[in-house]
Amino acid sequence: MSSTLTTPQNKIEAVLKNLGIQELNSGVGTGATWLAGEGELIESRSPVDGALIGSVRGASQKEYAAVRVTAEKAFTEWRTWPAPKRGEVVRQLGEELRKHKSDLGKLVSYEMGKSYQEGLGEVQEMIDICDFAVGLSRQLHGLTMHSERPDHRMYEQWHPYGLVGIITAFNFPVAVWCWNTALAWVSGDVCLWKPSEKVPLCSIACQHIAAEVFKRNGVPEGVSVVINGGREVGEWLANDTHIPLVSATGSTRMGKAVSAAVGQRLGRSLLELGGNNAIIISDKADLDMSLIGAVFGAVGTCGQRCTSTRRLIIHDKVYDSFKTKLVKAYGQLRIGDPLDEKNHVGPLIDKGAVAMYQNALKAAKEQGATILVEGGVLSGDDHESGCYVKPAIVEAKPEMTIVQEETFAPILYLLRYSGDINEAIAIQNGVKQGLSSAIMTQDLREAERFLSAAGSDCGIANVNIGTSGAEIGGAFGGEKETGGGRESGSDAWKAYMRRQTNTINYGSSLPLAQGIKFDL
């Protein structure tokens, strides 16, 4: 079944053509092959101007079962490829992404709503993780251990799991997929991707790019599978006993549902969920540096990053002076079309997100908070989609319910502290989420305390940079209701493989461990 495709105001007509998606068949593919798409019709509307970009058909349960079988068949061959050869395929994917960086970045910006610069940055993350994975393909190492038995050797090795389900959110519509696939593919796994139904065209573009590389290298059909659809597709992945690992990025509510379903069948889940991230502004901070980190962290991607700064914990000695700087900076923000590089802030993803933003500001007022910089929904020709909002600043207290929650919008809560660094850390840690955190200070002791076991309880803890902008070299993820998973760099590759311990007896007798005697 063919799907419709429009090019409102010709904003991205050339982009769609260059990415090979000017003609859409469906949102269900196994590589170069696209199924009919017998599921629900998914419309992609740009939050930039409210226009319909295109519509695709998602998967039916029958089609889901079919692509899963294709993936299983592909795995039996793909796992036998030497890891460096798989790495070479990923290297070529990185090169192809370099060619398409501008076009894919523009599509990300238009379909999701983040600034064009952030769209380019997201594609660069994909390129970076491909580079990382190429080197990793020659370093999937195990350990060699000494045996207590004579003429024995012990070692461990790592094997691919098989099928990896990947569920991604709208805010990073391409990078998170690549964080997972680049590592999973060099590990020997095959991937089934359920993208957010709010950004289906980004997933189709990625599949086209990958399919071209795979075709050149003879990669079996089914190593890369994309399955567009609604919530039910995620449920199929989570409950499928043929899929040993499900990686899910999104809300805590979604993650709990995925974890329960996967855990019930004793599968494994890799979860990267919500964040309620804070920057501590010490009285010993460089306030100009702190301002840059705080403003970008709070308004970048219109507050829709999982690492967005939600709370500023400011020492009483610098509270008023920093507040003055912050309010002035907010007055200089330009809000509008994210493809216009003069603008700082684009739209929220849709009107549902706008409603959550409005409800959060209302709740803050009801709970006794003071609105320092008023929010509101923008209208007019430059904001015709109804998804543009003003970044707001709210003076609040740490214990307020709304401060304890994550609102995926540009709302920044200012919180005071007057004691030492331990008071600030307690406020920072006093929420259910544990993703990203930061401290601004020129004091070595404060910095080291923040990074110590008695400091931040988050998966990411920064000094003199903000909460956003993680590099792929380090493992990305957090604790508590953030889910505990780790993606991207460091040794995150181990999440995509199973460990096997091997013992080899090269002697002429069979001694038993622990000195046990069993004579016949």
Catalytically active residues are 272, 306
Phi-psi region of 175 (alpha: psi -120 to 50; beta: other; left: phi over 0): alpha
d(CA 405, CA 520): 67
DSSP line for 423-466: HHHHHHH-SSEESEEEEE-S-HHHHHHHHSTTS--SSEEEESS-
Neighbouring-strand partners of residue 480? 433
DSSP line for 238-303: HH-TT-SEEEEES-HHHHHHHHHHHHHTT-EEEEE----EEEEE-TTS-HHHHHHHHHHHHHGGGG
The helix (H) or strand (E) run that includes residue 154 is strand 152-160
Structure-token pair, residue 409: 């919008």
- How buried is residue 232: exposed, middle or buried, by Cβ count under 10 Å (0-12/13-18/19+)? middle
Q: What 8-state DSSP symbol labels residue 512? A: P
Of 1, 136, 154, 121, give the one whose Cα is nearest residue 63. Answer: 1
53 close to 242: Cβ distance less than 8 angstroms: no
239 close to 259: Cβ distance less than 8 angstroms: no
d(CA 520, CA 425): 65
Structure-token pair, residue 102: 């501008």
3-state SS class at 3? coil
